[in-house]
């Protein structure tokens, strides 16, 4: 393994740039059984000799350079790469990495970019090599996993830098910068031109479609009008326990009442079908970051970003593998039995591991999932025991990860599901299900997945079940759900925007900007969020759509294939942006500045909505205009189903919790003024 030794590599060595310290160490260990571990200005690096060549392997810490500009105002098309520590206050740590690399470069004769083999890794390495002035003669190591075999193969056939890949990566940065910085500045300058106030506003290829998604859910929820329907519910006794079941539902109360009367008269339901089937539920896949965020939210109530932060800390403590991964696979190069043996030494896992070894007869195989990641395996514990300094939440997340890893190797769970269909003559049927655990398998370890058992006794076709009581209940259609932070991150993943490392962070950013807020764990758009989304959709619709990402991906792929040049792609983007930005500047800045000022409460609109005080276009603001339209539309159906009067209808809407906020406000307003809107008086 690694040994400390004489930390002088002499002259004439090859300097290898890795993406991060963990990767540098892995590369060193792959090339040598005894790499020499050294430090320079607090930065670790390694010296190895392989096949007669001396290598000095030094890590970056992700990007050490970022795009910046000296120009103010918009449109802005001039930018350059600068050391990240100088342009981003949260990246101060990158300075020492850059300094260490520069010092170690002095006596190097050859240079290798050994960052992750993807477009970001190509850019990270290229920017460093260019700062050293050696990019023209540098080489690229291409490996898809940090295993001894892959790394050695890559170093035995080092290639010239992949310029098409580098240019695709540079283009991604420049496109995001051009679109994001310019539109963000257009928003901020609009507000400043009207109010003189400076406030941080932003837009971007990933954040803006995400904002629009959250906003459109908020709008749908706020404009929801529930509809009534009527259910017939019967109470029966099954296996000595009373169970309520819904027999039928109707749009008209009178029909429901007729059916209820009939059922009371009959007094029983008939078993039309009873079936049992055995279900084998395979063990879960090991975690990728997205799955971990979903489960930590469901089980522990953690937000996605909080989960990510805790997981990164567990990783830095050496307790779990790299968390920013999309992989659901544990490759054969990972010694799972060594990890399991290490876990057995943690008292709290001894019994679980013993159960696992018994249940599998010691043959450990992970149920790998379909999702892959070129650079990293699925998240798994290293086996290292947690030390006493960890917080309770670190330990809870660690426990979730350990159990998921162990469960992924355990036998399937075996359940018996029972389904009972009951009917009464001429009344349709009602079904009821039960579940019994035959063999818990992996659910013994990952116990959060265990269903609560509901036993149904075995029954026979034609058997009569006594009905103890029958009632008719009024129910209402349910409103669309608002997003949670977790579902928003999942939505981003499903649309292919952002990356494992950035999605949760970008959701938090939308909160920081004051565009979104949380209410009981649900994500609501704020006034500012509604307004910014609306402005972007009107003036810069491209940036609000996930299609922009698709377009970028196609362009980057064309650059990577050498079909089109980076310069051509960037000039086209500049030309397009120059057009829409100068038109915006001439025609729309004032109107947009006013809208922003209204939403921030900095200015009072000339004509206000009598319900909410927002700017009124006609009689009301656009939201309450829409709410009243919805109220009118739904009244016809309410009247048909219930015969309700206009006033009773409005009272009902104003009182119900499932009514959308803007609909409720509009109903209250109409009630207070004692008016039934046109079309609602019939």
Cβ distance to DNA smaller for residue 177 or 224: 177
- Looking at residues 196 to 215 of the shown chain, list those that interact with DNA (rule: CB under 7 A): 200, 202-208
User: What number of other Cβ atoms are within 10 A of residue 30's Cβ?
Assistant: 22
What residues between 492 and 511 interact with DNA by CB under 7 A?
497-502, 505-506, 509
For residues 67 and 75, give the distance between their C-alpha atoms in angstroms, rounded to a whole number: 16
Rank residues 423 and 499 by Cβ distance to DNA and give the closer one. 499
Confirm if 124 and 115 have CB atoms less than 8 A apart. yes
- The token duo for 288 is 């990728």
Can you list the pairs that 616-625 forms with residues at least 24 positions away whose Cβ atoms lie under 8 Å? 620/666, 623/219, 623/222, 623/223, 623/662, 624/662, 624/665, 624/666, 624/669
Q: From the candidates 45, 305, 322, 623, which is the catalytic residue? A: 322
Beta bridge partners of 414: 280, 439
Tell me the closest approach of the beta carbon of residue 180 to DNA, in angstroms: 2
The one among 16, 47, 58, 67 contacting DNA by CB under 7 A: 67
Q: Scanning residues 561 to 580, which ones bind DNA (CB under 7 A)?
A: none
Residue 397 Cβ vs DNA, minimum distance, rounded to whole Å: 18
Backbone conformation region of residue 267, classed left if phi is above 0, alpha if psi is from -120 to 50, else beta: left
* Separation of first and last alpha carbons in the chain: 86
| Residue of the chain from 14, 167, 184, 486 that contacts DNA (CB under 7 A) | 184
Parallel, antiparallel or unpaired: strands 268-281 and 413-423: antiparallel
**Bridge partners for 519 per DSSP:** 522
Looking at beta carbons only, is 43 or 47 nearer to DNA? 43
Pick between residue 16 and residue 181 the one whose CB is nearest to DNA.
Answer: 181
CB-wise, 20 or 585, nearer to DNA? 20
Q: Is 131 in the site for DNA (CB under 7 A)?
A: no
**Nearer to DNA among residue 35 and residue 59 (C-beta):** 59
**Binding pattern to DNA, positions 287-316, x when CB under 7 A?**
-----------------------------x
For residues 321 and 367, which CB has a smaller minimum distance to DNA in the complex?
321
Q: Please report, for residues 125, 131, 566, the alpha-carbon distance to residue 118 in angstroms, rounded to integers and kept in the order given.
A: 11, 20, 17
Q: Contact letters (x/-) for DNA, 99-128, by CB under 7 A?
A: -----------------x---x---x----
For residue 47, the minimal CB distance to DNA (Å) is 19
Tell me the two tokens of residue 309: 């932060």
Closest approach, Cβ 67 to DNA, in A, equals 4
- Is 22 among the residues that bind DNA (CB under 7 A)? yes
633 Cβ contact list (under 8 Å, min separation 6): 225
> Looking only at residues 68 through 97 of this chain, which bind DNA when binding is defined by CB under 7 A?
68-69, 72-73, 84, 88, 90-91, 93-94
Stretch that binds DNA, among 13-21, 273-281, 591-599, 635-643 (CB under 7 A): 13-21
Record the tokens describing residue 64, joined without a space.
């050490």
Residue from 135, 189, 295, 493 touching DNA (CB under 7 A): that is 189
- Buried b / exposed e along 260-273 (16+ C-beta atoms within 10 A): beebeebeebbbbe
Q: Cα-atom radius of gyration of the chain, to the nearest Å? A: 32
Q: Closest Cα to residue 529, out of 486, 573, 482? A: 482
- Residue pair 472/232 in contact (Cβ under 8 Å)? The answer is yes
| Phi, psi (rounded to 5 degrees) for 476 | -130, 145
H/E segment holding residue 102: helix 94-105
Question: Which position among 55, 177, 598, 662 is part of the footprint of DNA (CB under 7 A)?
Answer: 177
In the complex, minimum distance from the CB of residue 208 to DNA, in angstroms, rounded to a whole number: 6
Query: Shortest distance, CB of residue 405 to DNA, whole angstroms?
Result: 21
Residue 156's CB is within 10 A of a number of other CB atoms, namely 10
The contact pattern for DNA, residues 226-255, with x = CB under 7 A and - = no contact, is ------------------------------
* Stretch touching DNA by CB under 7 A, among 15-23, 241-249, 363-371, 611-619: 15-23
Would you call 322 a catalytic residue per the annotation?
A: yes
Q: How far apart are CA 88 and CA 94, in angstroms?
A: 10
- Beta-bridged to residue 3, according to DSSP, are 36
Quick one: 210 or 233, whose CB is closer to DNA? 210
| Contact between 346 and 398 (Cβ < 8 Å) | no
Verify binding: residue 373, DNA, rule CB under 7 A. Answer: no
* Position among 26, 217, 221, 324 found at the interface with DNA (CB under 7 A): 324
Round to whole Å and give the CA distance between 57 and 607: 67
Using the rule CB under 7 A, give the single segment among 175-183, 285-293, 390-398, 602-610 that binds DNA.
175-183
Residue with tokens 């938090």: 508
| Comparison of 482 and 509: residue with beta carbon closer to DNA | 509
Q: Dihedral, CA atoms, 480, 222, 303, 349, nearest 10 degrees?
A: -30
Task: Give the integer Cα–Cα distance in Å for 623 and 665.
Answer: 11
Q: What are phi and psi of 433, to 5 degrees?
A: -120, 155
Query: Cβ-count burial of 39 within 10 angstroms (0-12 exposed, 13-18 middle, 19+ buried)?
Result: exposed
Binding track over 25-64 against DNA, x by CB under 7 A: ----------------------------------x-xxxx
Q: Which is nearer to DNA, 188 or 292 (CB)?
A: 188
- Quickly list H helices, 408-546: 485-495, 503-512, 527-539
# residues contacting DNA (CB under 7 A): 54
Tokens of 261: 């009367």
Cβ distance to DNA smaller for residue 326 or 642: 326
The number of residues in the chain equals 682
Smallest gap, in angstroms, from Cβ of residue 202 to DNA? 3
Please classify residue 580 by burial: count the beta carbons closer than 10 Å to its beta carbon, then call 0-12 exposed, 13-18 middle and 19+ buried. middle
What is the closest distance, in whole angstroms, from the C-beta atom of residue 321 to DNA in the complex? 12
Of the residues 99, 176, 251, 384, which one makes contact with DNA according to CB under 7 A: 176
Q: Token pair 């010691």 is at which residue?
A: 362
Residues marked as catalytic: 322
Contact residues for DNA (CB under 7 A)? 19-22, 59, 61-64, 66-69, 72-73, 84, 88, 90-91, 93-94, 116, 120, 124, 172-173, 176-177, 180-181, 184-185, 188-189, 200, 202-208, 316, 324, 375, 497-502, 505-506, 509
């Amino acid at each position: 393994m690694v040994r400390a030794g004489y930390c002088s590599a002499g002259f004439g060595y090859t300097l290898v740039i890795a993406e991060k310290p963990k990767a540098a160490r892995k590369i060193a260990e792959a090339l040598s059984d005894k790499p020499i571990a050294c430090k320079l200005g607090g930065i670790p690096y390694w010296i190895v000799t392989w096949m007669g060549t001396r290598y000095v392997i030094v890590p970056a810490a992700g990007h050490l350079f970022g795009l910046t500009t000296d120009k103010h105002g918009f449109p802005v098309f001039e930018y350059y790469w600068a050391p990240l520590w100088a342009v981003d206050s949260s990246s101060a740590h990158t300075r020492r990495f850059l300094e260490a690399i520069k010092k170690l470069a002095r006596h190097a004769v050859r240079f290798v970019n050994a960052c992750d083999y993807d477009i970001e890794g190509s850019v990270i390495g290229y920017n460093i090599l260019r700062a050293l002035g050696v990019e023209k003669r540098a080489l690229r190591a291409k490996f898809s996993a940090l295993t001894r075999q892959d790394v050695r193969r890559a170093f035995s056939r080092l290639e010239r830098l992949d310029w098409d890949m580098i240019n695709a990566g540079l283009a991604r940065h420049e496109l995001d910068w051009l679109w994001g910085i310019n539109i963000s500045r257009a928003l901020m300058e609009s507000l400043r031109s009207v109010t003189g106030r400076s406030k941080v506003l932003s837009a971007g290829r990933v954040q803006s479609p995400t904002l629009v998604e959250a906003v459109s859910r908020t709008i749908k929820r706020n404009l929801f009008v529930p509809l009534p329907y009527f259910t017939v519910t019967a109470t029966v006794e099954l296996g000595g326990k009373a169970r309520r079941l819904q027999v039928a539902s109707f749009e008209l109360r009178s029909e429901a009442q007729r059916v209820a009367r009939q059922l009371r008269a009959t007094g029983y339901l008939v078993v039309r079908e009873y079936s049992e089937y055995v279900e084998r539920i395979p063990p879960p896949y090991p975690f990728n970051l997205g799955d971990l965020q979903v489960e930590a939210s469901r089980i522990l109530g953690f937000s996605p970003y909080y989960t990510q932060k805790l997981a990164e800390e567990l990783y830095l403590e050496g307790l779990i593998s790299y968390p920013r991964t999309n992989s659901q696979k544990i490759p054969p190069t990972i010694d799972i039995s060594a990890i399991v043996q290490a876990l057995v030494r943690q008292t709290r896992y001894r019994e679980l591991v013993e159960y696992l070894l018994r249940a599998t007869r010691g043959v450990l195989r992970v149920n790998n999932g379909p999702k892959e990641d070129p650079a990293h395996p699925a998240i798994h514990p290293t086996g290292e025991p947690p030390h006493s300094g960890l917080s309770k939440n670190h330990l809870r997340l660690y426990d979730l990860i350990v159990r998921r890893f162990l469960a992924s190797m355990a036998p399937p769970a075996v359940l018996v599901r029972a389904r009972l269909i009951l009917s009464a003559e001429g009344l349709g049927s009602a079904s009821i299900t039960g579940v019994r655990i035959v063999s818990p398998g992996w659910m013994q370890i990952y116990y959060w997945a265990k269903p609560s058992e509901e036993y149904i006794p075995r029954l026979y076709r034609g058997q009569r079940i006594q009905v103890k009581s029958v009632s008719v209940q009024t129910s209402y259609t349910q409103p669309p759900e608002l997003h949670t932070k977790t579902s928003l991150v999942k939505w981003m993943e499903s649309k292919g925007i952002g990356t494992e490392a950035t999605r949760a962070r970008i959701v938090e950013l939308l909160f920081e900007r004051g565009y979104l807020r949380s209410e009981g764990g649900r994500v609501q758009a704020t006034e500012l969020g509604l307004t910014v989304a609306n402005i972007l959709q009107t003036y810069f619709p491209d940036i609000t759509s996930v299609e922009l990402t698709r377009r970028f991906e196609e362009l980057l792929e064309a650059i990577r294939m050498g079909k089109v040049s980076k310069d051509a792609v960037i000039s086209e983007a500049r030309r397009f942006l120059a057009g829409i930005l100068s038109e915006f500047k001439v025609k729309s800045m004032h109107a947009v500045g006013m809208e922003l000022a209204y939403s921030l409460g900095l200015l009072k609109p000339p004509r206000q909505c009598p319900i909410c005080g927002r700017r009124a276009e006609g009689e009301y603001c656009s939201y309450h205009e829409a709410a009243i339209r919805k109220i009118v539309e739904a009244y016809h159906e309410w009247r048909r189903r219930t015969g309700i009067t206009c006033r009773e209808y409005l009272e009902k809407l104003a009182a119900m919790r499932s009514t959308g906020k803007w609909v409720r406000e509009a109903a209250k307003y109409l009630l207070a003024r004692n008016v039934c809107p046109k079309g609602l008086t019939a």
